[in-house]
Amino acid sequence: MGRGPLGFSRRTWPFVKVLVGNWLFAFIYYVGLKQVIFWTPPSWDVADRLELMVKCSILAILPAVAAIAIVAAQRLNPDMWVGQQVKRYSALDINTRVILNTVEQFLLFLVGIAGVALYLPATEARSIPLLTSLFLMGRILFWIGYHKNPHLRAFGFGITFYPIVGVFFWLLVRMLTGYHIPI
């Protein structure tokens, strides 16, 4: 199979398009909501920062909690098993993979959102719930997409993962240079 533009094969281009779509969607969603939500906390000391970070983290982990509850029930269904092995691509198998990926993503989210809470001024505190809503939406779309077709999980994955990458880039710039980029 020959290479197309930029050396990508024809089979790779759909994934590149999803990647670009993830970036555009996350950017438009985030910037759009920042234009209509003007919340600033009444105080912004360390306890306030920690409280907001914990509240948002609790919301962000809810898809994993729901998936764990569903998997617990599905483990009792003999149709989900072949001998002692989970039937490949069964709802149980997919939900177990969703849990694993969501917990991995949540770990990155938690560290990133804690750093954001530490470094953001009060005037930008609304970024924390906005990033949380993007994470939640991404996890839900990842879960739904995975059940429809494993390729459809990519969009939900992307709008969860790439904003976190942006957060880590922002944190590195802030920590290493002291320069504050408004977010």
Lowest mean pLDDT among 1-5, 32-36, 101-105: 1-5
Task: List Cα–Cα distances, 3 to 11, 14, 152, in angstroms.
Answer: 10, 14, 24
At a CB cut-off of 8 Å and minimum separation 6, what does 174 contact?
A: 119, 180, 181
Q: Give the pLDDT confidence score for residue 32 in this predicted structure.
A: 97
Number of C-beta neighbours around residue 144 at 10 A:
13
> Mean pLDDT, to the nearest integer, of 132-154?
95
Helix ranges (DSSP H) in 3-152: 13-36, 46-74, 91-119, 127-148
What is the signed CA dihedral for 62, 132, 40, 35, rounded to 10 degrees? -130
Domains for the chain: give ranges and CATH numbers.
5-177 (1.20.120.550)
Residue 82 in 3-state DSSP? strand
Give the integer Cα–Cα distance in Å for 140 and 39. Answer: 25
Cα 28 from chain centre: 16
> Mean pLDDT, to the nearest integer, of 64-71?
98
Q: Give the pLDDT confidence score for residue 15 in this predicted structure.
A: 83
Burial class (CB in 10 A: 0-12, 13-18, 19+), 25: middle
pLDDT tens digit string along 9-65?
Answer: 878 888 888 889 999 999 999 999 999 999 999 999 999 999 999 999 999 999 999
Number of C-beta neighbours around residue 113 at 10 A:
25
Residue 88 in 3-state DSSP? coil
Q: Give the pLDDT confidence score for residue 162 in this predicted structure.
A: 96
| pTM for the full predicted model | 0.92
Q: Give the pLDDT confidence score for residue 2 in this predicted structure.
A: 64
Residue 81 in 3-state DSSP? strand
Please choose, from the candidates 46, 166, 50, 59, the residue with its C-alpha nearest in 3D space to the C-alpha of residue 106.
59
Report whether pLDDT(1) > 60: no
Q: Which amino acid is at 123?
A: T
